[in-house]
Amino acid sequence: MTMISDKIAEHKGREHHISPIAEFIKQIIYGGNDGIVTTFAVVAGFAGAGASGIAEIGGIAVLLFGLANLFADGAAMGLGEFLSARSEQDLYHTVREKELYEIENNPEMERLEAIEMLQDRGFSLNHAEEMTNILENYPNHYADFMMAYEIQMADPNGENPILNGLATFVSFICFGIIPLLPYFLLEANNFTFQISVFATFFALTALGLLRYLVVRQNILRSVGETILVGGVCAIVAYIVGLAFS
């Protein structure tokens, strides 16, 4: 029995290992894209208002507004992710408790629902009834089954709201600061803005490549979608700046 357990553990470690980046890929992509767009919006807003506007305001002001937005929005994003994950867990527990109550107090209706769902998924009537008979002996697993297939709610208990929020915040800051880097090194002018545009493109490309390296699904789509979504937001920011020129 020990040998079998060891083999199963080895198989899980080899075939089902998920890296920390993969575990938080949703938060990394979400936070990174928003961070890039948020800081570029500040730069593009000043640039869209006119080249002379940047020169008059100066790089210090661009950095001031950019960093203020970067850290304020990053904190808001991280805390928002934390609250969202906590709310999702609370809702799941509330609905699951109701499902357990129904299993205990209205077993016949739950049985009919379970058999119908299994048949809808290709089980024969006999097999659906057999599986339901087994589930009725294990109320917690029965509730998990009903949550997944009747309510269609994924179990969020494996997620850590604090780590989710932290991953969103760190990704927001790390990717979001890239469009501002040229203004740390150069005077604020049209040339610096052009470099910031390339830096933004580089940041979106890097984010897309990271997405591809994790999901391993079509590199052109992974990178292209990331650049397209971020690029549209950046263009909107520049157009808004033009409106005030």
pLDDT in tens, the chain (245 residues): 555 554 544 544 444 445 667 778 888 888 998 899 888 888 887 776 554 445 455 667 788 888 888 999 999 999 999 999 999 999 999 999 999 999 999 999 999 999 999 999 899 999 999 999 999 999 999 999 999 988 888 888 878 899 999 999 999 999 999 999 998 888 777 888 889 889 999 999 999 898 888 877 788 888 888 888 888 877 887 777 677 65
Domain that holds residue 213: 186-235
Instruction: Using alpha carbons, list the distances in angstroms from residue 125 to 128, 136, 142.
Output: 5, 16, 18
d(CA 112, CA 132): 9
Closest among 198, 237, 239 to 39, alpha carbons compared:
237
Q: Does residue 67 sit in the same domain as residue 157?
A: yes
Rounded Cα distance between 168 and 29, Å, is 8
Whether 137 and 216 map to the same domain: the answer is no
Q: Is residue 38 a part of any domain in this protein?
A: no
Range list of H helices, the chain? 2-15, 20-23, 25-48, 51-57, 59-105, 107-120, 125-135, 139-146, 161-176, 181-185, 190-215, 219-243
* Angle, vertex CA 143, rays to CA 140 and CA 148, nearest 5: 130
The answer on 222 and 117 residing in a single domain is no
Residue 198 lies in a domain: yes
One domain, residues 169 and 64: yes
Distance CA 44, CA 69 (A): 13
Residues 151 and 203 in one domain: no
Domain count for the chain, please give it.
2
pLDDT at 57: 56
In this structure, is residue 3 part of a structural domain?
no
From the list 47, 67, 70, the residue with the least C-alpha distance to 188 is 47
Say if residues 48 and 241 touch (Cβ distance below 8 Å).
yes
Q: Say how far apart CA 42 and CA 63 lie, in whole Å.
A: 9
- Output the six-digit token pair for 95: 């609905």
